[in-house]
Chain A
Amino acid sequence: MQKVRKNDNAWQSGRAKNITFIVTKDCQLACKYCYLVGKNVKERMSWETAKAFIDYVLSHENEFREESVVWDFIGGEPFLEIELIDKICDYLKLRMFELNHHWFNSYRFSFSTNGINYHTPEVQNFIQKNREHLSIGITIDGTEKKHDLNRVWKQATPNANGITQPSERGSYKDVVKNIPLWLSQFPDAGTKVTISSADIPYITESVLHLYSLGIHQVNINVVFEDVWQEGDDKRFEEQLMQLADAIIDGGWYQDYACSFFSEHIGKPLDPELDNQNWCGAGRMLSVDAAGNLYPCTRFAQYSLRSKKALVIGNIHDGINQNLLRPFLTLDRTTQSPQKCLDCEVASGCAWCQGENYDAAQTNTIYERSTAICLMHKARVRANNYYWNKLYRKLELEGRREEYEANKRDVKPEIC
């Protein structure tokens, strides 16, 4: 009798160390909402830097005791550096095995890509080589109109500082052609959608469009930055209620999920029992082309608008553990203003430590940005509507128990 396993979607969630290679700060696109304000064509990681970093991490097994590891590759667009990535992954496999490192028993290679190069022989060969250890997410924002609103190609020539500039040419067609191949290789894969002010009117049609492409899991969130206009929360709530109607009336809820709707959000939080930090910064580790180490990619200079990069070490000297202490002791109540502690719908309201740092009035990670406050409250109202409507429908149809037993559980995603 043959024995196989069932695939596990949320691989080692919370038990894995996330280690990110910023292999390039270049990208074919210049998305208008991209938090990476300093993308450029110059900063590409060398093999020597990557190897030195790997040697440092694998030779300090005692400092990295997490059960599992996710080797994450980010850009810019990571697949622009597929040759380097292939070499890195081969070296990682060999060295983890050679050193009898505990991570050889539990690792993944993870990618967030714009999908443009997905079909190329180089990327496809890499996928074939590492098929059992891959997690690849392609970002597509929804309908062509919505996607092309923000996700545009960059101009051929960067500005005088070497920073890439957006063009008028959308990238939808270049991405969507690769979705069938991607889904054939990763049928459970989800896509990540980012919403800023101008995207609000397109939310419903975009999510339904992604479902129609065969993407079962749509992870969607509003940007943390302070970009919101007056009335956006009302428009957002209306869109989400339209989306709720469409998902429920269209029967999508049975096999498809949208992270906007979750039973876990919109409850008060206990200051002691629910005091954990949302963000994983500090428990993650990022390295850039210069060999500098960061608690998360969001603390590298190209991610920051108004603050200096927060470097916690480098590949030669290792990590300054004192600089990690604030990240590892940070909790929800210490960084939150009183209005968040008193909030009756606090659960599921996320934050990004990097954005908090960037937006803070002093150089601290302990000042929570609340730019998404009204948007979260709008989401909670629409979310309540969704579950009330869905459960009433299921009860009337006598199918609630069946649904509960088989539903896709969408938990708030921890960064």
Chain B
Amino acid sequence: MKEKVGQVTAEERSEIQQLFERRNGLNELAKILTPENDALYQKLVKDMGETGTKFQNWWDNMAKKYNWKSTPNGHWEINFETCEIFLSE
């Protein structure tokens, strides 16, 4: 079940979309990058940490800013095309 609970601006959408894409990119890079390539591996590990934090911060900040409805077993989703936020269970 899905319920629309809010909307973000286009700029805010672009921010999370970029972080989402970067996170996916880093995850798939991690599948092929080995510790032997030390410099790049360290860069990847650092980036994964930073991107994960930024990703989480975005949701925390937006939830606070817009005061979206939440439920104990639900999660929020964003539609990148419409900037709508949905609560899914």
Contacts and interface: CB of A to CB of B under 8 A. Distances in A.
A4 B40 CA distance: 28
B40 A132 contact: no
Interface stretch (A93-101, A159-167, A395-403): A93-101
B59 A3 contact: yes
B11 interface: no
Given A4-B75, A93-B32, A129-B32, A107 B80 contact: no
A104 B24 contact: no
B36 to A, nearest CB: 13
A94 B18 CA distance: 18
Interface string A226-247: 0000000000000000000000
A216 to B, nearest CB: 17
Interface residues of A, number: 23
Interface in B1-44: 16-18, 20-22, 24-29, 31-33, 40, 43-44
B53 interface: no
Interface stretch (A5-13, A294-302, A317-325): A5-13
Contacts of A131: 28
A363 interface: no
Contact of A3 (B25, B33, B44, B75): B75
A130 B24 CA distance: 9
Contact of A4 (B27, B43, B77): B77
A94 B40 contact: yes
Contacts of A3: 59, 75-78
Nearest to A96: B25
B56 to A, nearest CB: 8
Nearest to B79: A6
A3 B16 CA distance: 11
Nearest to B70: A1
B53 to A, nearest CB: 14
A105 B40 contact: no
Contact of B24 (A2, A129, A132): A132
A280 to B, nearest CB: 20
With most chain B CB atoms within 10 A of its CB, the pick from A4, A98, A105 is A105
B52 interface: no
Contacts of A129: 28, 31-32
A1 B25 contact: no
A98 B32 contact: no
B29 A94 contact: yes
B80 A93 contact: no
A93 B32 CA distance: 9
A32 B20 CA distance: 43
Nearest to A8: B80
A6 B16 CA distance: 12
Contacts of A97: 25-26, 29, 40, 43-44, 47
A5 B77 contact: yes
B49 interface: no
B77 A10 contact: no
B32 A90 contact: yes
A104 B25 contact: yes
Contacts of A133: 24-25, 28
A130 B28 contact: yes
13 contacts: A1-B74, A2-B75, A5-B77, A6-B79, A93-B25, A93-B28, A94-B29, A96-B25, A98-B43, A104-B22, A105-B21, A106-B18, A132-B28
Interface of B: 16-18, 20-22, 24-29, 31-33, 40, 43-44, 47, 59, 70, 74-81, 86
Given A132-B27, A133-B28, 12 more contacts: A1-B70, A3-B77, A3-B78, A4-B77, A5-B79, A6-B80, A8-B80, A94-B29, A94-B40, A96-B25, A105-B18, A105-B21
Closest 3 CB pairs of A and B: A132-B24, A2-B75, A6-B79
